[in-house]
Amino acid sequence: MSMQTQNKQPFLSAGTLLLLLVVGLFAVVAIYRLIFGIGATTNLTDDVPWGLWVAADIMVGVALAAGGFTIAATVYILNLQQYKSLARPAVLTAFVGYVIVALGVFFDVGKPFSLWHPIFMWQPHSIMFEVVWCVVIYTTVLALEFAPSFLEGIGKESLAKAMRAKSVVIPLVIMAVTLSFLHQSSLGALFLLMKGKLSHLWWSTMLPYNFFLSAVAVGLAMTSFETIVAGRIFRHPVSMKILQGLARGTALALACYAVVRLGDIIVKGNLGLAFAGTRGSMLFLLEIGLGVLLPMVMLFVLSKGGKRDENSILFAQMLVIGGVILNRVDIVYLSQKVEGVTYTPSWMEFALTAGLVAIILVLFRAAMLYLPILKHAELE
C-alpha cells in the first residue's frame, strides 16, 4: 500500500523548492569535496583542524537531536502520559538528525570512505571509538522507535502494533537514554585533551556532564520549538498546557546546568576570566547571559502564573537553542587560544552545512505530510 498524505498541503511549496535548491548546491559541494579533498574545500589548518563542520554538523546536530531520548524518557520511564503526543515528532527529529550527523561525519573526516573502519577495527581505548559505536547503535534504536510511524504510513498496521508493544518500546527507550548519556558526555570528554588550548571558562573535568545536561535542556527546547512551528505550518492545534510543561522542564534543566557549570568555575577560581575583557570572556558572558540565565528566568515565569503567550515561550526556547549552538561552536574553535592563528569557514563549508539543514527540513516535511505523525498527536 502506498503512503497517502495525512495533510491537505502539497509537498512542493515555495519554501520547499528553495530548500531543494540549497540541497542541489550541497550536492555540488559534496562531490567537489570528495574529488579534491577536505583541504581544497575548507579553510582548516593543522592549528585549527576542527571547524564549522564538526561544530555545527556534529556537535550541534547531536545536541539538538536530544529531544528524542528526553521525551521518550519523560513518557515511557517517568510515565508522564500527557506528553505522549510529542513522542513521535521528537523521535522523528532525532532519527533524521542522527542520519544527517552521520552524513556530516562522512564529509568531515579526512578519508570518508574509511569511515567503516571503527566497526571492524576496534580501539577500545579511544573516546572516538566509543562515540562512533554509541551513535551507530543509537541511530539503529531510533530507527526501531520510528518504525511504527513508518509502518502505519505504508499500511502495515499489524506490524506497527507489534512494534508499539511495551515489551518492545520500554527496552528501546532504556537503551536510548543509556546510549545518549554515553555519547553526549563523550563528545565533551573529547576536549579534556585540550587543557592548554581551550579557555578554562569552558575546559573542565566536568565537561562531559556539562555536555549532557545542556543536551537535555536543548532537547526540550527543540521539542517546544518544533511543536510551535510545525503547528503553525501544518495548521495543527498546540496545547498551551504542554508548552508550559516543556517550559518548566527546560527551565529546570537549565537551572541544573547553570549550577553545575558556574559552580565548577567558581570553585576552581576561574570566575575572574569571565571579566577579563577578552574575546573568550565576551563569548562566555553572551552564552551564559542570553543562552542560559535569561531564558531560564523567562521560562520559569511563563510556566507558572506569568504571561502565557506562545510567542514568548517560542522566543525563550530559541534563546536556549542559540545558547547551546554558541556553546558548541565556542568549544570547537571560537574560544580556543592559538596565538596568531585565525579561522573563517569557507563558503563551501557554509554551503555544505546549509545543505544538511535543508535535507533535515525536507525530510521532516515529507514525514509530517505522509506519515501519521500529526494524526497521532491529534488522537492523543
pLDDT digits (tens, 9 = 90+) for 35-82: 999 999 999 988 888 899 999 988 999 999 888 889 988 888 888 888
pLDDT digits (tens, 9 = 90+) for 221-248: 999 999 999 888 888 878 889 999 999 9
Burial of 196 (0-12, 13-18, 19+ CB in 10 A): exposed
User: What digits encode the pLDDT tens for the residues 283-294?
Assistant: 999 999 999 999
Bridge partners of 336, per DSSP, are 198
Q: In this structure, is residue 224 part of a structural domain?
A: yes
- Report yes or no on 4 lying in a domain: no
**What are the beta bridge partners of residue 198?**
336
Is 273 inside any structural domain? yes
Phi-psi region of 13 (alpha: psi -120 to 50; beta: other; left: phi over 0): beta
Q: What is the pLDDT of residue 47?
A: 84
DSSP string over 280-292: HHHHHHHHHIIII
User: What are 9's three cell numbers?
Assistant: 498541503
Is 9's pLDDT higher than 90? no
Contact residues for 347 (Cβ-Cβ < 8 A; gap 6+): none
> 197 pLDDT band (50/70/90 cuts)?
confident
Q: Which long-range contacts link 27-35 to residues 24+ away (Cβ below 8 Å)?
A: 27/355, 29/348, 29/351, 29/352, 29/355, 30/107, 30/352, 30/355, 32/348, 33/107, 33/348, 33/352, 34/107, 34/112
Which cell numbers in the block locate residue 201?
571558562
Domain with 366 in it: what CATH number?
Answer: 1.20.1630.10
Contact, 313 vs 299, CB < 8 A? yes
Domain annotation covers residue 9: no
**3-state DSSP assignment of residue 154:** coil
Percent residues over pLDDT 90 in the chain = 49
Q: Which residues contact 65 (CB under 8 A, 6 or more apart)?
A: 93, 94, 97, 98, 101, 219, 222
pLDDT score of 305 more than 90 = no
Distance CA 257, CA 218 (A): 11
Q: What is the spatial distance between Cα 103 and Cα 271, in angstroms, rounded to a whole number?
A: 38
Our count of domains for the chain comes to 1
How high is the pLDDT of residue 125?
84
Residue range 157-164: average pLDDT? 89
Chain-centre distance for alpha carbon 356? 13
Q: Is 338 part of any domain?
A: yes
> Within a domain: residue 6?
no
Q: For residues 84 and 322, which has the higher predicted lDDT (pLDDT)?
A: 322
> Which of 253 and 236 is assigned the larger pLDDT?
253
Q: Which among 327, 362, 361 has a CA at the least distance from the CA of 60?
A: 327
What is the residue range of 268's domain? 14-379
Mean pLDDT, range 244-262, rounded to an integer: 95
Domain-embedded: residue 3: no
- Average per-residue pLDDT for the chain: 88
Of 296, 228, 234, 239, nearest in space to 262 by CA: 296
